[in-house]
Structure 1
Amino acid sequence: MSASITYQAEPELNAVDFQKLLIASTLGERRPVGDLERLEKMLAHADLILTAREEGKLVGIARAVSDQCYCTYLSDLAVHSDYQNQGIGKMLVKLTKATFPLANLILLSAPKAIDYYPKIGMKKHAHCYLSVPEDPIY
């Protein structure tokens, strides 16, 4: 892991910076990166925004929603493609867990990251369900 990476909570993160990182990490393939207003809302309603920066440059983010005592949903974990495989994502996950130590950490993996999470100690759960906005509930 690079010694020059700094980690901090950034509740006021700029939506444009968030957008650029999502695109640079490939997570933008599954996020509404063309809709800055929606990205602003995603940031505004998060309970936790942790960032990783190198000399001021945003290189990683963990964005989570949490009740702070039972469940924390890690909505986004993104690391700039040029900075992957340096332990930045793992540190962001550790810091997210440490922020809400009583809560279960839950996430939906991006297809390209399915093999990553078991490597850092997370367990696959067989009982996850998803309903996207256009899916009706009967």
Structure 2
Amino acid sequence: MNPIEYRSDRKLSIDEFADVLKRTSLGARRPIEDRRKLQLMLDHGNVLITAWDNDKLIGVSRALTDFSFCCYLSDLAVDEAYQRQGIGKRLIEETHRVAGHDTTLILLAAPAAKDYYPHIGMERFTDCFRIQRKTV
């Protein structure tokens, strides 16, 4: 069995990104049928970490950062067949490493994942506010 490989230097195609999202619970909350939006998401996120089992994409972390103060981890997705192996935690660690450890890493948890993040050592922060998107 080959170890999982984590990459920060590989761009994804829209099809690769949509495919891995479909194999996770995140797919239900992302515009996987809207190729234009997926392309914009890939084009404008400035940290992309991928996890590979040989040639199979099994995880992705997509973030936006200024590389000095904050890093917003927008998408964390691990293929359901590969969960509970530490891949999500490692994707978060790699995202924070690339963004810089001087940044504060922030994410909004999906309701089903809210108990996962404290389990891996992240601090729960309740004072978060948002303006919901106007379109889907």
Q: Work out the number of aligned pairs and report it.
A: 134
What corresponds to 2:101 in structure 1? 101
Q: TM-score, normalised by structure 2?
A: 0.94
What corresponds to 1:126 in structure 2? 126
Q: Which whole-Å CA distance do the structure 1 matches of 2:37 and 2:30 have between them?
A: 10
What corresponds to 2:71 in structure 1? 72
What corresponds to 1:4 in structure 2? 3
Offset at residue 65 of structure 1 (A): 0.2
Is the contact made by 1:62 and 1:76 (CA closer than 8 Å) also made in structure 2? yes
Is the contact made by 1:72 and 1:105 (CA closer than 8 Å) also made in structure 2? yes
Superposition map of 1:1-138 within 5 A: 4-99=3-98, 100-134=100-134
Offset at residue 25 of structure 1 (A): 0.8
Q: Which whole-Å CA distance do the structure 2 matches of 1:45 and 1:52 have between them?
A: 20
Is the contact made by 1:11 and 1:48 (CA closer than 8 Å) also made in structure 2? no
Deviation above 4 Å: which 4+ runs of structure 1? none
Residues 1:10 and 1:38: Cα distance change in structure 2 (over 3 Å): farther
**121-130 or 72-81: bigger deviation:** 121-130
Offset at residue 3 of structure 1 (A): 5.0
Residues 1:125 and 1:103: Cα distance change in structure 2 (over 3 Å): same
Residues 1:93 and 1:127: Cα distance change in structure 2 (over 3 Å): same
- Unaligned runs of 5+ residues in structure 2 are none
Residues 1:56 and 1:11: Cα distance change in structure 2 (over 3 Å): closer
- Unaligned runs of 5+ residues in structure 1 are none
Offset at residue 56 of structure 1 (A): 0.8
Is the contact made by 2:64 and 2:74 (CA closer than 8 Å) also made in structure 1? yes
**6-15 or 93-102: bigger deviation:** 6-15
Q: Which whole-Å CA distance do the structure 2 matches of 1:20 and 1:81 have between them?
A: 12
Identity of aligned residues (%): 41
CA RMSD of superposed structures (Å): 1.4
